Amino acid sequence: MTVLIANNVSSSLAAPISASATSMTVVSGTRFPVLTAGQYFYATIIASTGTIEIVKVTVRSGNAMNIVRAQDGTNAQAFLAGARVEMRINAASVREIVSDQNTPLEARLTTAEGEIDALQAADIALDARLDTAEAEIDVLQAFDTTLGTSAGSNSVGFLQAGTGATARTSQDKMRDLVSVKDFGAVGDGVTDDTAAIQAAINTGKALFFPQGTYLVGDLSGSTNQQTFRGEGGYKSLLRKKSGATNILVHSGNFVVFQGLAFRGIITDSTTNVVLNGYNWEMINCNNDTGLGLLIDATEPGAFLIQGGTYNNDAASGDCIRLGNPAGTVTQNYGRVTDMVMSSSNVYLTLYGCGTCSIWGGQIGGLKSLDGSGGASAYGLTISGARITGDITVNGSANIICGNKMGAACTITLGSSGNFYFGNGDSGCTVVNPGNANNYMVRQVATGSQITMRVGADAAYSDFGVDYTLGNVALPGNANFLNDKRIAFYDSTNTLQNGLRLTSGNDWIVGANNGANFMTLTSGSVGIYTSVGGNQITITDTTKFAPFPDGTINLGGAANRWATVYATTGTINTSDARDKHDIRPLSEKEKTVGVALRGLIRAYKWNAGASETYVGVIAQDVIAAFEAEGLNASNYGIVDNSGERLGVRYDQVFAFIIGSI
């Protein structure tokens, strides 16, 4: 048999071996000699403690080797995986090499010694490399051990994307947000997660609830600005466990709940969530089940409830209570938007509301009440919501507009200055507690005649608008401020005065703007009518006069006065400055005057009284003029402007007197 040797060959045990093992496996056997029949080599196994054993390798197949134990004066012993396996020059290999060779012993020994020196030098260098590798292995093993502990994330770095980002450890990054599962919460709906979640709350940090159902009870918190976030809908559900008074009581301010669901016990009359701090927010959360309150907030301040559904199982009473029923100070200034309550028999109740608002969504019953300690309610605005239950609002300056009311609801307004208008409230009853300062307008009839009701149902006035005809029907007086007017558009679409009372208390009826208008003005400027610019005026207490002078008649041939009563007779203008062509009567004119004296007759009117009258006949007067070759129309004695002829008796008497 032939012994083989090789330089710088080493590996390590891939698996431990016992003291009686006859084979071993190394990590890598590629550098060890390939054996054929009758060949072998010696290998030295070195433990980490420094103990060694020399074995004879008789068969090598890849990394597996058949071995003969306890060679060259060493003892067989057990070795752990990782122990070094090297081909070293030893006495046995030297002796066997010498015995196998036919060369002179001295030459062979000299060669062997040279080889030994070379191998020993290589062995020293190899030992140094092995020491370095073993140190690196120790470091890696220690790091690997650390990664498996709670401090492992502190050994891994993190750098956020973006310019200016600062390097942090992964542990520091992950501690920005606390998951309740970091403290052992299970979320299977069976395991009691109270202690785990309470521990998470006690950190005072932002909490995250991964999807799950967390069975809890009587959780508490007090840290300001703490946030509780879930995955939305009913994915992250906190369910009250049996025997618990509440799901959560939190006294911190500016606390935010988002994407969580709370669920009570259907037969339990206690409260699900109690919030004793102010300025909290409940965003897209759901809260249901139980006979008690879903939310009880004693000092909500500028609270916000946005989205989510809130439904308990009570037949009546409060579902959500915001404010202290015994409060002394008005301190609720919050907002409810797009919240949904499905039951009309339970209430969203506010105590001491000061300018709160409800926008959109669906509300059951609604109450805004005073605190018994003196906290006044006022300034509640409700708009764009569907309200299925009764409404009661105390105080003043409440606004209810643009809402859809449930059938047969009762709306009770506050003390004064409340506004109720534009609501879809067919079949509802509006109650005004005896205050005339509340503004209430409702539509109570439909069709072409729209009837609007002003006031409560117990004391109201209805007025109608017919949109097909443009008519407006008022139930009573229409009152206007001083110096305001009712105006109309004329045929040219120009706005004209209809009726106006000026700041000087003068009445103006109509507009003096052309022949088609008539005006009547009274007060300090008198009373006058105007047609086409011609006016009849009472300018003071002594006269009734036309304007312009000498242009307007009193009556007409077909528009006669029956009787004129006067204290004195009429006065005809006779000023020479107003006359021309002045002359004496001609002989023919005097003859007409004589004829007129003989034409005075007694007569009765065909229509009217049965009395006998004395006078002349217009046709006789015309004939008297014609008898003298004169035309009566050239004189002012006969009026033939209409179908009826008339005479001016002042002219008749003047002709008669002139003929004497």
**Torsion angle of C-alpha atoms 400, 405, 408, 411, degrees rounded to 10:** -10
Q: Pick the range with the lowest mean pLDDT from 188-197, 215-224, 522-531.
A: 522-531
**Torsion angle of C-alpha atoms 523, 528, 531, 533, degrees rounded to 10:** -80
Neighbours of 15 (CB within 10 A): 13
pLDDT at 643: 81
Share of residues in the chain with pLDDT > 70 (%): 86
pLDDT at 173: 75
DSSP 256-322: EEES-EEE--TT--S-SEEE-SSS-EEES-EEE-SSS-SEEESS-SS-EEES-BEE---SSEEEEEE
Q: Label residue 453 by pLDDT band (50, 70, 90).
A: low
**Which tens digit of pLDDT belongs to each residue from 159-170?**
888 888 888 886
What is the C-alpha to C-alpha distance for residues 74 and 92, in angstroms, rounded to an integer?
11
Which residue's entry shows tokens 């199982």?
313
What is the C-alpha to C-alpha distance for residues 172 and 228, in angstroms, rounded to an integer?
20
Q: Would you identify the CATH topology of the domain 584-658?
A: Arc Repressor Mutant, subunit A (1.10.10)
CA 498: distance to chain centroid? 45
Which residue's entry shows tokens 């992950």?
174
What is the C-alpha to C-alpha distance for residues 380 and 331, in angstroms, rounded to an integer?
13
pLDDT at residue 584 greater than cutoff 50: yes
**Helix 649-658 with 587-597: angle, nearest 10 deg:** 110
Which residue's entry shows tokens 């520091």?
172
pLDDT at 100: 67
pLDDT at 515: 47
**Which tens digit of pLDDT belongs to each residue from 248-276?**
999 999 999 999 999 999 999 999 999 99
Backbone phi, psi, residue 477, to 5°: -75, 150
pLDDT at residue 627 greater than cutoff 80: yes
Residues pairing with 594 in the sheet? none
Q: Is 569 helix (H, G, I), strand (E, B) or coil?
A: coil
Residues 536 and 549 sit within 8 Å (Cβ to Cβ): no
What is the C-alpha to C-alpha distance for residues 236 and 216, in angstroms, rounded to an integer?
13
pLDDT at 113: 77
pLDDT at 506: 76
Give the CA distances from residue 257 to residues 71, 218, 231, 337, in Å, rounded to whole numbers and listed in that order: 77, 17, 11, 15
Q: Is 634 helix (H, G, I), strand (E, B) or coil?
A: helix
